[in-house]
Amino acid sequence: MNPQSLNLYSYVKNNPLSKVDPDGHCCWDYITGAAGESLNVVPDTLNAINGAANLALSKFTSYQIPMLDRITPDNNHDSQAGANFMAGPGVVAAMMVPVGGEMKALNLAEGLSVEVRASAIEKEAGIVAKCSDGALSRSANKAETSIAKHSEILRNATKEQVKSITEDLKKAGTRLEAIRAEQAKRIQNAAQ
C-alpha cells in the first residue's frame, strides 16, 4: 500500500490552499484506456448498491440515497499539472482513494468517514495485492456476483434485514473496488 494513497490532497498536488478541483475530475483527464475507465467502478458499484438499497428502503420510507455521477474526462483542467501528478506515485493514489469531489460523495453515500473507508480499502488492497492475475479476475467475478445476489435479496428483505444486507453489499463493493484498482495498477506497471 502506498501511503501516498491516503493523502487526501494529492488531487491538488498537496496544495489545497492555492489549487482546487471542485468537480473532482482533475486526475481523470490523464488516465486513459482500461486503467482509467476502471476508476468508474467506484461510482458504478456504489450506484448499483444504492439502487438496490433504495428499492428496499422505498418499502419503509420516502428517503432515497442520492446516485453518484460517473467520472468523465474534462478538458478544462491544466494538462501539465495533471501529467506531472499522474507520472508519479499519484497513479496509485488516484486509483485507491482520493478522486476529489467524487470521493467525498462516495463517503457520504456510504455513511462512512474518510478514515474508515480508507482503512477498509487499504485492508482489501493488502489482500488483493497478494493474488495472482488469474485469481484476481475470478475474484472480481465473485464480487460482482455477490453484489448482484445481495441486490436481489434486498428486494424481498424485511426492515429488520435491510441493514445487514446493505453492509454485505458495501463490503462486496469495497472488495471489487480494490480488485479493479489493483488490476489498473498492474496494467499501468506493465505499460511502463
Partner 1 sequence: MSNIETDFLSEQSREWVREVSSLQSRLSEKLIAIGFLNLGEDDPISHHLAEVSYAGSIIAGRLVPQFLKAEGTELSDVAVDLVEDLRELREAIEAMESSLLRLMNQLNPDGGLPRSGVPHRSRPASRV
Q: Which residues bind partner 1 (CB under 8 A)?
A: 37-38, 40-41, 44-45, 48, 52, 134-135, 138-139, 142, 144-149, 151-153, 155-161, 163-165, 167-168, 171, 176, 180
Amino acid identity for residue 2 in this structure: N
Taking the complex as a whole, the smallest distance from the CB of residue 85 to partner 1 amounts, in Å, to 24
Q: Measured from the CB of residue 148, what is the shortest distance to partner 1 in angstroms?
A: 5
Rounded Cα gap, residues 93 and 85, in angstroms: 10
Nearer to partner 1, 6 or 140 (CB): 140
The set of cell numbers assigned to 138 is 475470478
How far apart are CB 178 and partner 1 at their closest, in Å?
13
Whichever of 5 and 139 has its CB closer to partner 1, that residue is: 139
- Least CB distance to partner 1 at residue 18 (A): 35
Which residue is listed with cell 483527464? 29
- Please say which residue, 87 or 138, places its beta carbon nearer to partner 1: 138
Nearer CB in complex with partner 1: 52/96: 52
| Residue closer to partner 1, measured from CB, 81 or 112 | 112
| Cβ atoms 154, 52 nearer than 8 A | yes
* Least gap, CB of 23 to partner 1 (angstroms): 21
Q: For 71, left (φ over 0), alpha (ψ -120 to 50), or beta?
A: beta
Closer residue to partner 1, CB minimum distance, 41 or 97: 41
CB 135 → partner 1: shortest distance, Å?
6
Contact yes or no for 27/103 (Cβ under 8 A)? no
